[in-house]
Amino acid sequence: DSGVTQTPKHLITATGQRVTLRCSPRSGDLSVYWYQQSLDQGLQFLIQYYNGEERAKGNILERFSAQQFPDLHSELNLSSLELGDSALYFCASSVDGLNNQPQHFGDGTRLSIL
C-alpha cells in the first residue's frame, strides 16, 4: 500500500461529458502529480501541484484542469471527453518535489469513454 488513494477506480462515460478524478496523497507529502497511461503514449506527466499551487505542466490538454486543495487532496477535471481520453490516470505524491525524492503512486482511475 503506497498510501496514495485514488477514487473512483473505474469510470465509464460518454463523449462530450465531464468527469472528476480525486486523489489523496500520502500523509506528509506536499507535492501531487498527475500522469496518464495509455497504450499508444505510455506514461505521460500531466501536471504537478505543491502545497496548493500549480508548479509545472506537462502534456496536459486545455480541456483538462486540476487543483490541489488546502487539505492537500487533488482533483483532475476532464471535460468535453473524447474517445482518445480513455486511459489509466495515476496520481502520485512526494514529500517536496525535489529531484531525488521518489514519487509514490496510487492504483489509478481507469477511464473508459464510450
Partner 1 sequence: GDSVTQMEGPVTLSEEAFLTINCTYTATGYPSLFWYVQYPGEGLQLLLKATKADDKGSNKGFEATYRKETTSFHLEKGSVQVSDSAVYFCALTGRSGGSNYKLTFGKGTLLTVNP
Q: For residue 114, which amino acid is it? A: L
- Please state the closest distance from residue 76 (CB atom) to partner 1, in A: 15
Q: Which is nearer to partner 1, 13 or 105 (CB)?
A: 105
- Please state the closest distance from residue 16 (CB atom) to partner 1, in A: 29
- Please state the closest distance from residue 25 (CB atom) to partner 1, in A: 13
Q: Which is nearer to partner 1, 18 or 76 (CB)?
A: 76
Rounded distance between C-alpha atoms, residue 45 and residue 34, angstroms? 6
Do you find a cis peptide bond into 102, omega within 30 degrees of 0?
Answer: no
| Site residues, partner 1 (CB under 8 A) | 2, 4, 6, 33, 35, 42-43, 45, 48, 50, 55-58, 90, 92, 97-100, 102-108
Quick one: cell of 105? Answer: 503512486
